[in-house]
Amino acid sequence: MILLAPSILSADFSRLGEEVSAVEAAGAQYLHIDVMDGHFVPNISFGAPVMKSIRKMSQMVFDVHLMISDPLRYIDDFAAAGADIITFHIGCSSDIDETLDKIKSHNIKCGLAVNPDIPAERLFPYRDKIDMALIMSVFAGFGGQSYIDGVNAKIQAARTFFGPDFDIEVDGGINLTNKTVPIANGANVLVAGTAIFGAQSPKEAVCSFLNETEIDN
């Protein structure tokens, strides 16, 4: 099953609740929540309080993507705010095993992410601890970037290693024009930000994305 995860990084924050409700009503299954600290990546986005404020109005899977230097320090906060999945990056300063164990202690799913310049093989030692592998198809930290075709081989490698039933998420530059590319290479969770929330109607954008990609609802 292919899952769509609209990223609120591209949403209109003056209408955040309304836009979240719109994409959920249109059939989006996940809500991708990009958290940036201004250190691990250059930009700053938002923290757990913003996520908590929309948790009460949505039944979507909250897919939290921590682009921060010390994710271990904040796992408890995001778990308490309603995260269903917490993913952090190889290359952060936190101990990976300790951070994965902390996420699991909250009985929620955990994932590991790699930027385009980090081999997919860096994820493989954590196979028994993670529920999802996130392959970045742009460099983390900015919305609106173009899809990097060079990551397709990494998606294939991850799918081959983790097997057919494992979640492989791809994030960055995915739109209605290239949406089938990551799927063809083995992805089953697609993050789309600008293509959804940058559209005149996010709800209509989700419907088009789902229908034209033949994504299951």
Catalytic residues: 34, 171
Residue 163 known to bind ligand: no
Amino acid at 36: M
Residue 32 known to bind ligand: yes
Residue 39 known to bind ligand: no
48-55 vs 16-26: helix axis angle to the nearest 10?
Answer: 50
Residue 77 known to bind ligand: no
Residue 38 known to bind ligand: no
What H or E segment, with its residue span, contains residue 83? none
What burial letters (b/e) apply to 131-153, b meaning 16+ CB within 10 Å?
Answer: bbbbbbbbebbebebebbeebbe
Phi, psi torsion values for 29, nearest 5 degrees = -90, -35
Residue 186 known to bind ligand: no
What burial letters (b/e) apply to 85-106, b meaning 16+ CB within 10 Å?
Answer: bbbbbeebebebeebbebbbee
**Do residues 130 and 168 lie in contact, with contact meaning Cβ atoms separated by under 8 Å?**
no
Residue 144 known to bind ligand: yes
Cα distance between residue 17 and residue 34, in whole Å: 16
Residue 47 known to bind ligand: no
Residue 65 known to bind ligand: yes
Residue 142 known to bind ligand: yes
Binding residues for a divalent metal cation: 32, 34, 65, 171
Binding residues for substrate: 7, 65, 141-144, 171-173, 193-194
Binding residues: 7, 32, 34, 65, 141-144, 171-173, 193-194
